[in-house]
Structure 1
Amino acid sequence: MALPKLPKVKQEQYNVIPKKRRIEESKLLFSFELLDFSVEYYNCNGMCDKGIKNCFEKLRDYSRLTVDEIHAGQGTIRFHQIRKEDVKEWPAYLEHNEQLEESFYQISFGSSKGRAHGIIIENKFYIIWLDPHHYLYHDSRYGPRKGFKELERCCNPRDEIIRTYESRIKALEERNHEYLKLLEEVTRPDI
């Protein structure tokens, strides 16, 4: 009895080790692990809905680029290192991690639309501060810096409008009830 013929093994399937990509060729990732809202100048409270939407759209667009492309400043990207001697404020996280000082960067959300400050390690950008008004490099020609306190409630105007309408509805329901009583008295047959 003859043995069946064995299929030939394709060399390229088993002998090729996949080429490892350089970190610089990897897509940029964003992390919010180190996001710090404790500094009143660097948070979202001063951003309108459109500003927050723009911020996330830019982060989405930037995450399509490689680390090399971000560093090269392709297109209109404003991305640069932040040096401690150039600014008045420094994140507390970096005060305790001196080896990361050279990794502190800023990336723009567009002209006059704010920035994110953070550290870049390999292909991950850890956002530490959101800077909607460009206060890290503040220019006094634009007036004093204005800190943004945490809001007690984010929906104050909406809640007030709802309370106003609820009050009007209740008053109209009471008037309607009075009119129904009057109508019933007037239209009741005399017996």
Structure 2
Amino acid sequence: MLPITAHRGTAMPLRRSDVDTDQISPARFVPYYARGGYSNILFADWRDDPEFVLNRPEFQGATVLVAGTDFGTGSSRESAVWALQSAGFRAVLAPRFGDIFRGNALTRGLLAITVPEQEIRDLWDLVEADPWLEVEVDLVAREVRHSGRVLPFDVDPAARDRLLRGADLITETLRHEADIAGFERARHSGLPLTTEEVPA
């Protein structure tokens, strides 16, 4: 994973709250064993509506999703994160996230950033009035910036550190490889031994 310090892009206003992971990536489409090809299943149950925001031409190419409260609740499927990333999203702003979704997102390099509800509503209005409005999510400064506004945000320090370094959980574990090897060597000396029975 490449280091992430900030992301700047246009935004898509998803004026819906309580969007769970089955609405983000419906279970009937998820093979659970492959990461590719998820962009076509993103919000699949809503895509038949030509007025659904993902279908509207003025928001094509948006990389910041601006969602309502309780985004990503429900089951813990990683495909919800993969579907958003496959569709080009690099950040999701919402007043509150499902805990597991937010953890999965930050682990996979999708910036799931909590922004106060009124700021989300204001941003919906601004983006609908100007689809070319740029929104910046600055992970170094821990700020969302747009239209001259600066919105500080909190993010898990360990997740932020990994994102800034471009490290995933495996990379993080391998930083302690010498300690793990030492523990394994010491551990074996205290385990019970078995002896092989040789036929008489």
TM-score between the two structures when normalised by the length of structure 1: 0.25
Q: Indicate the structure (1 or 2) with the bigger Cα radius of gyration.
A: 1
Relative to the length of structure 2, the TM-score reads 0.24
